[in-house]
């Protein structure tokens, strides 16, 4: 009751400035709200590696109650989205691939994101995927110029793989196989 009364007061106040709050709410319901994967697990991801977080990331990866598996993270995100009106979207990094062994980021494939794609389709969520340029477990040795060439090639291959995955996720989800 108090919420509705507060809204009615706000509606009147905004109306005097020419703002139609009902139209604003309707417009907002068509804009997807994006939730980033790292908000549920402190950006540790699910790569099968023993490397610590690196690359300037200022998180420790061990807050209490964080999701320890992709299924737990998806359940947490579904729960959170239950409180959010309108369209929803999830943004995941390459480190959220689901594999049974270590897969270098420049070798990720659509099947590594099948669980995410199935979940997004089942729940009507949009899904974005982006490369992960921090916390690269692949050691890059040698002089700086050589390091940069190796990293650039690795990064371009990862971007190419992610772009292919996004195209499949958005346009041909039935091509994702187990």
pTM: 0.69
Cβ partners under 8 Å of residue 160, min gap 6: none
- 3-class DSSP assignment, residue 150: helix
- Please report, in angstroms and rounded to a whole number, the separation of the first and last CA atoms in the chain: 50
Q: Judge whether residue 112 has pLDDT over 50.
A: yes
Residue 93, strand partner residues: 130
103-121 average pLDDT score = 85
Token couple for 98: 């689901």
Provide the sign of the torsion angle of the four alpha carbons 125, 90, 74, 102, taken in this order: positive
- pLDDT of 12 reads 95
- pLDDT of 175 reads 47
pLDDT tens, 164-174?
Answer: 666 666 565 55
21-43 average pLDDT score = 82
- Asked if 36 and 91 count as a contact pair (C-beta separation under 8 A), the reply is yes
Domains belonging to the chain, first-starting first, are: 1-30 (no CATH), 31-175 (3.20.20.150)
Report the mean per-residue pLDDT for the chain: 77
Token couple for 50: 């023993």
Instruction: Decide which of 78 and 28 is more confident.
Output: 78
């Amino acid at each position: 009751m108090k919420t509705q009364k507060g809204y009615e007061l706000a509606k009147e106040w905004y109306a005097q400035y020419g703002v139609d709050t009902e139209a604003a709410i309707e417009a907002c319901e068509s804009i997807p709200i994006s939730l980033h994967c790292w908000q549920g697990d402190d950006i540790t991801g699910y790569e099968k590696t023993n490397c610590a977080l690196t690359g300037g990331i200022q998180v420790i990866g061990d807050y209490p109650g964080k999701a320890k598996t992709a299924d737990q993270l998806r359940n947490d995100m579904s729960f959170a989205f239950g409180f959010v009106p309108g369209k929803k979207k999830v943004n995941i990094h390459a480190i959220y691939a689901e594999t049974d062994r270590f897969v270098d980021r420049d070798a990720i494939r659509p099947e590594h994101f099948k669980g995410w794609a199935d979940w997004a389709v089942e729940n009507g969520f949009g899904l974005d995927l982006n490369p992960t340029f921090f916390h690269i477990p692949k050691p890059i040795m040698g002089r700086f110029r050589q390091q940069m060439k190796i990293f650039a090639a690795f990064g371009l291959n990862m971007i190419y793989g992610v772009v292919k995955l996004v195209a499949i996720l958005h346009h041909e989800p039935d091509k994702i196989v187990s």
